[in-house]
Chain A
Amino acid sequence: MADLLGAFEQAVLLAIVKAGEDAYGRSVLRGVEDALNRGVAAGAVYATLNRLESKRLISSRLGEGTAERAGRARRYYRLTASGAAALNESKAALEQLWQGAKWPLGAGA
């Protein structure tokens, strides 16, 4: 079994999945903030994107520059087959971990 993804990595991958065709840095940042319900440092998101790309869990392509970005290009991300498999595996592992335990846990559980 490959290394399981960390919670932040899962949040970034899921933000890419949810953003679909519009998954670029800013939309991923906002997706992660929405999912975690807190502000997130942009640097942490981009460092994670780079790491996931070097692990080949996501791929990227450059888009066109637009006026609202002062002509600067966007980098669009998409999940690879390995990325989807890693996400599935992480979810399955978490579910297996919780199997048999009552939820939510009470005090002294």
Chain B
Amino acid sequence: MMNGRPPRWFEWMLMSVLPIRDRETISGDLFEEYCQERLPRLGRLRANFWYVRQVVGFAVIRLVWGPFMKKALFAISLFTIAAGCWLAVMENVLKHDGHGGRTVLDLLIAAQGVVTVSVILFRAGSLLRLVAILGAIAVAWVGGSALWNILRATHFEGFVVVIGAALIAQGILTIAAFVRPHAIR
């Protein structure tokens, strides 16, 4: 049997993406598989490649379906609730042309945030989840078109970029999280 162990950097990365409960057992399983099966059979380069692929797989699962996404989606939703309310208030303070329609849009953005947060907090059923997914498509579109318009405009407004990017991120994360039934736990 060849002497060796998995690349240390990736061992460290694996530990950091695994939940505490599974850190020892899963890293031990992969260590055992690497040393006893992959390294003797495949050689160091391909065995390392196998190990790195597994670590990346765990990282993707953690990112897409794990608590990280839940926390990120929760935080972004809270931000868009605050942003929607702030925009609605400002529309009614400044009272530019067409502020009525934009106020409705701002409140819908805030409402979408409330729906998303509710699904996460209360593990809501399929109806509210469906509403959140449909709303996610809408807010991603609103965010995208806001970004597109502001980047082409002569008058640059940074807050539109921040809120637009947040809406796009919220839309993508909501779809990724709620389309899979086991995503949010």
- Which residues on A are within 8 Å of B, measured CB to CB? 24-26, 29-30, 41-44, 46-47, 50-51, 54, 62, 65, 68-70, 72-75
Query: In terms of DSSP, what is the predominant structure of the interface of chain A?
Result: helix
- Pick the contact of B65 from A47, A70, A75 — CB < 8 Å? A47
Complex CA gap A5/B134 in Å reads: 28
Minimum C-beta distance from B86 to chain A (A) = 39
Give the 6 A-B CB pairs with smallest separation, nearest first.
Answer: A72-B28, A43-B57, A25-B29, A69-B28, A75-B25, A26-B29
How far apart are the CA atoms of A41 and B29 in the complex, in Å? 13
Name the residue of chain A whose CB is nearest to the CB of B37.
A30
Known: A43-B60, A47-B61. A54 touches B185 (CB 8 A): yes
Additional pairs, 20, CB under 8 Å, beyond known A26-B32, A69-B29 = A24-B25, A25-B25, A25-B29, A26-B33, A29-B33, A41-B57, A44-B57, A44-B61, A46-B26, A46-B58, A47-B61, A50-B22, A65-B24, A68-B36, A69-B28, A69-B32, A72-B24, A72-B25, A73-B24, A74-B25
Asked whether, in the complex, the Cβ of A43 is within 8 Å of the Cβ of B58, the reply is yes
B30 at interface, CB cutoff 8 A: yes
A12 to B142, CA, bound (A): 42
Main secondary structure of the interface of B (DSSP, over half): helix
**Residue B31 is within 8 A (CB to CB) of chain A in the complex:** yes
* Residue contact A73 to B30, C-beta cutoff 8 Å: no
Residues on the A chain within 8 Å of B22, using CB: 46, 50, 75
- How many B residues touch A, CB cutoff 8 Å? 23
Cβ–Cβ contact A69 & B31, under 8 A? yes
* B positions within 8 Å CB-CB of A: 5, 22, 24-33, 35-36, 53-54, 57-58, 60-61, 65, 182, 185
Given contacts A42-B58, A43-B58, contact A68 B29 (CB under 8 A): no
Q: Which residue of A lies closest to B22 (CB)?
A: A46
* B26 pairs with A25, CB closer than 8 A: yes
Contact residues in A for B57 (Cβ distance below 8 Å): 41-44
* A47, B66: Cα distance in complex, Å: 10
